[in-house]
Chains A and B, each alone.
Chain A
Amino acid sequence: MKKEGFFNIVGGDFSRSGEASTQLKQILHSMGINNDTIRRASISTFEAEMNVIIYTPAGMLKYEIDDDIIKIIVQDMGPGIEDIDLAMKEGYSTAPDWVREMGWGAGMGLPNMKKNSDEFKIDSVPGEGTTVEMIIYPKKGRE
């Protein structure tokens, strides 16, 4: 049983926040993946999706799901991250005030993604874009 696919994410469109991650969540449910794994995958993808919406013009969320591995790649079209170590620090954010007023941009996104993944890789080229790769190994059983 293997499934793969992708969702496009439009930057700046807050009305569609969480759409890609919600659809991925439904796919994981339909495949009988256990709840804790779905929870971790949902948090990771929602945060990645929000970063595309908040900071970039557009991006794509690609997934490959198999019985023993969930791989999620989120790729965007820029602007890229100058200092990845700094961006990974909990509480550090470059979000504008209006995004913070919405309750986003608290500097928790990337740390949340890393925490909820078994493997987390981030590559970024300033001026070009960022790619995040997250791997989650599903636990056995339903819970």
Chain B
Amino acid sequence: MKISEVISKLQLTAYTRMPGGEELINNVYVSDLLSDVMANAHEKGIWITLQTHINVVAVAAMKNIPAVIIVNGRKPDDDTLKKATDEGVAILGTDMHAFEAAGILYNMLNG
């Protein structure tokens, strides 16, 4: 699936521009622990989290994660968006809970 398809299916808010919207995604990881993401998330997948601070971008960039979905209607910090723009990481948002967002993405990948 493409990130652009994920955005339209989940009706996500795009907080940053999407340079990699056509990139193909084969994996999704859900976690709010940054060391867990570093250790276990797949490279080039989508990361679902409720964390909103600037270190989310550093971890995503380190793991070559092109897009982060922030759930529960939380808003990313301003410095998070600035760094995300610099690093080319897309920050997306939804009012859904992690379970709902992950469920839809699971079906998109495996349906």
Contacts and interface: CB of A to CB of B under 8 A. Distances in A.
Contacts of A42: 62
A104 B62 contact: no
B50 to A, nearest CB: 9
Interface stretch (B16-24, B35-43, B91-99): B35-43
Chain B, interface size category, equals 10 to 19
A25 B62 contact: yes
Chain A, interface size category, equals 20 to 34
A29 to B, nearest CB: 11
A42 B62 CA distance: 7
Interface stretch (B4-12, B53-61, B66-74, B100-108): B53-61
B43 A104 contact: no
A109 B35 contact: yes
Interface in A110-125: 112, 115
A22 B35 contact: no
Interface stretch (A13-21, A70-78, A129-137): A13-21
Interface of B: 32-36, 38-39, 43, 49, 51, 53-55, 58-59, 61-62, 79
8 contacts: A14-B55, A22-B61, A22-B62, A42-B62, A47-B35, A103-B55, A106-B36, A115-B39
Interface of A: 14-15, 17-19, 21-22, 25, 39, 42-43, 46-47, 50, 102-104, 106, 108-109, 112, 115
